[in-house]
Structure 1
Amino acid sequence: MNLYLRLFWLLLTARWRSRCDLLGPCRLALRIWPNDLDLYRHVNNGRYYTLLDLARTDLMLRSGLAGKISAAGWFPVVTLSTMRYRKALTVFQRVEIETAVLGWDERSVYLQQRFWHGGEIAASAVIQARFVRRSGGSVPSTELMALAGHDEASPTLPDWLQAWAKEAADPK
């Protein structure tokens, strides 16, 4: 993550923002700054993903998960992602990034993240993430959810999402 000032601000102000449910949706308001832009004066495609990192961090902070995973010696990694860009975002625009957990399987958590501007979706991403131990190895989703105090079963993953994850895991 290369947005250290935004990350510092997020960490500093987390205690004053409203709590979010672990499954979301959780919204993070941001402004687009000149350093977010590319040569063509719209948000760089890589910057979208970096802003999504901030929004996922916000969800973990506001749901109370961040401290628990840190104490357990775990951290999240993105293992698969896809993004659809619908409208260009430009300098000084206010956006909200909405993050929601779609569900999980044995190893991964699936999230949908959307950039909202002017009441419309400007970009939408689907993220597959895993939690790994600092000592090595993946954390099973059941262990993650137990740590989070969430004992309900995963919402049913849509067929398209299961196909997407399977194709990425076993390309032909």
Structure 2
Amino acid sequence: MSGLLRNFLTLLRALFSAGAAGTGARVTSWFWVTPFDAGTHVLKSDRYLQLAEAAQLDYLVRTRLMGTLLRRRLSFVNASQLVKFSRPIAMFKRVRVETAIIFADEKCAWFSHAMFVGAEEHAEVLVKMKFKKGSLTVRPAELINQDFAAKPAQLEAWDRALDAM
């Protein structure tokens, strides 16, 4: 399924879903792997990012963060993405994506999109996101009502690797 169509269907489903979650919640999205997503029989690597993108939109709508962004005329950009593949996801499988903000600092918020088939985790996509107003970066704390402890070690290592590039 094309990313644009999946995002559109995800937005519609999110708009009409019952209840809203807070920004500190873990939001669960469900997707089917179609023949358009697969190579010969498993999910293609770029499609993991498309599932994460759709799950991120679902999260933004269901936590009402999207409404805040639209009212304040803010946008969001993905500064970096990191994928950990654990197991392949076969065609026609139903994938559960659990999305949460795992950390935020003065400039960025880090999203985790854990992908499951049944009870087994098959992949995780980490997204480092910035909220923007024009060229200015907006502090995530202005939008996310959540306090975070120290930055997780895997995010520190990721940032060091990005800085070394």
| TM-score normalised by the chain length of structure 2 | 0.89
Give the deviation of 1:167 after TM superposition.
3.3
5+ unaligned residues in a row in structure 2: which ranges? none
Q: Distance in 2 between matches of 1:111 and 1:62?
A: 15
Aligned length in residues: 163
Give how far 1:123 is off. Answer: 0.6
For the aligned residue pairs, the C-alpha RMSD in angstroms reads 1.7
Match of 1:7 in 2: 7
Equivalent AA in structure 1 for residue 164 of structure 2: P
TM-score, structure 1 length as denominator? 0.86
The letter of the residue matching 2:25 is: G
> Which segments of 5 or more consecutive residues in structure 1 lack a partner in the other structure?
none
Q: Please give the per-residue CA displacement for 1:127-156, whole angstroms capped at 9, x wherever unaligned.
A: 2111112x32211223233xxxx1x43233
Distance change (3 Å), C-alpha of 1:118 and 1:153: closer
Distance in 1, matches of 2:80 and 2:53, equals 13
Q: In 1, Cα distance between the equivalents of 2:28 and 2:141?
A: 25
Aligned to 1:122: 122
Partner of 1:34, secondary structure, is coil
Partner of 1:22: 23
SS in 1 for 2:30: strand
Matched, 1:55 2:55: yes
- The equivalent of 1:138 in structure 2 is 137
Question: 1:97-144: CA deviations, max 9, x gaps?
Answer: 1111111111000121111002100111222111112x3221122323
- Following the alignment from structure 1 to structure 2, what is the Cα–Cα distance between the partners of residues 22 and 143? 12
Match of 1:33 in 2: 34
Query: 1:11-56 CA distances to partner (integer Å, 9 max, x unpaired)?
Result: 2222332422212211101111111012x32111111101100001
SS in 1 for 2:130: strand
